[in-house]
């Protein structure tokens, strides 16, 4: 038996009404998911968004009587260590930050090809305010330190320093050396301050972190920290640096970083 045109339109209207009614529930669901994205890693955020979209599309399809097969997508993959190692490192960094009174921070997991990509890609990965908010931590060694200076027991006259600068800036070794010379009020000649990047194995031995993962929280050695003045004054003040694993990035507010880690702040870049 055929269905009249009026009946067909009535069925369509009923389906449309069900879809519109369901959208009200979807808005609440999307709001809930969005609130969770603030504390999730980038990989988790992508997964949550994908699942939310699939859920909404599937319900719309069912309401309209449409049967469409959604192709399965290969998940994002990450490297540099097992999940257990990653989780342990993440927890260690978080515990140190909390113990030092840091209230605002983020730990974001990034794809394994992160360092193979341009700064604009990295900025997008971690939702940084700009490429200037991407920073790196380097262990620097004073190769001409006085003979008795063999460790980091004296922050003003240490063998090693952890220097944090922006990726968009270039370390000015002359400025750095002059700053350290000034810390000692001229007690030692300028020739006793000759800063060079420490070998990777030395950096790992001192910090416990491999290249690309060095971060102040949880270092094996209490290395004095020097923070670029441009980072201390950056706006917005939330900047990013390594997070203890090459696939983990740590975001913090500059004022809280200064308060928690008490770095020396100086103009040490071009």
| Domain range annotation of the chain | 5-64, 83-266
pLDDT score at 87: 84
Q: What local confidence, expressed as pLDDT, does residue 55 receive?
A: 66
Block residue for tokens 């879809």: 19
To 10 degrees, what angle do helices 42-64 and 5-37 make?
170
Does the domain spanning 83-266 belong to CATH 3.90.960.10? yes
At 107 the pLDDT is 93
How many residues does this entry show for the chain? 270
Strands 264-266 and 238-245: unpaired
Q: What is the C-alpha to C-alpha distance for residues 156 and 142, in angstroms, rounded to an integer?
A: 12
Q: Would you give per-residue pLDDT tens digits along the chain (270 residues)?
A: 444 555 556 665 666 666 666 666 665 555 555 554 444 455 555 556 666 666 666 666 666 665 544 333 333 333 443 344 778 899 999 999 999 999 999 999 999 999 999 999 999 999 999 999 999 999 999 999 999 999 999 999 999 999 999 999 999 999 999 999 999 998 999 999 999 999 999 999 999 999 999 999 999 999 999 999 999 999 999 999 999 999 999 999 999 999 999 999 999 999
Q: How far apart are CA 80 and CA 248, in angstroms?
A: 10
> Tokens at residue 215, please?
């971060």
pLDDT computed for residue 28 by the predictor? 59
Rounded to an integer, what distance in angstroms lies between the CA atom of residue 73 and that of residue 105?
A: 31
State CA 216 to chain mean position distance: 13
Question: What pTM does this model have?
Answer: 0.71
Interacting residues of 109 by C-beta distance below 8 A, sequence separation 6+? 41, 42, 43, 44, 78, 86, 247, 248, 249
Nearest to 19 by CA among 66, 68, 70, 69: 66
């Amino acid at each position: 038996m055929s269905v009249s045109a009026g009946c067909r339109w009535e069925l369509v209207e009923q389906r449309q009404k069900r879809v519109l009614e369901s959208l009200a529930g979807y808005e609440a669901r999307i709001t809930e998911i969005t609130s969770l994205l603030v504390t999730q890693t980038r990989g988790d955020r992508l997964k949550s968004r994908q699942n939310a979209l699939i859920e909404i599309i599937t319900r719309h399809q069912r309401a309209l009587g449409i049967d469409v097969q959604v192709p399965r997508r290969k998940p994002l993959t990450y490297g540099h260590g097992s999940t257990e190692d990653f989780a342990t490192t993440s927890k260690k960094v978080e515990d140190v930050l909390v113990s030092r009174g840091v209230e605002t921070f983020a730990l974001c997991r990034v794809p394994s090809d992160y360092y193979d990509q341009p700064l604009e890609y990295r900025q997008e990965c971690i939702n940084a305010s700009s490429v200037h908010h991407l920073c790196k931590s380097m262990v620097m060694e004073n190769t001409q330190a006085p003979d008795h200076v063999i460790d980091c027991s004296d922050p003003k006259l240490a063998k090693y320093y952890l220097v944090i600068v922006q990726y968009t800036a270039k370390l000015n070794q002359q400025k750095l050396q002059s700053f350290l010379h000034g810390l000692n009020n001229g007690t030692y000649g300028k020739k006793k301050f000759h800063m060079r990047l420490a070998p990777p194995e030395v950096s790992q031995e001192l910090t416990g972190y491999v290249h690309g993962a060095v971060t102040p929280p949880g270092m094996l050695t209490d290395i004095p920290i020097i923070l670029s003045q441009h980072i201390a004054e950056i706006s917005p003040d939330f900047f990013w640096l390594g997070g203890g694993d090459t696939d983990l990035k740590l975001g913090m507010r500059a004022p809280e970083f200064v308060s928690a880690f008490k770095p020396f702040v100086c103009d040490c870049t071009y």
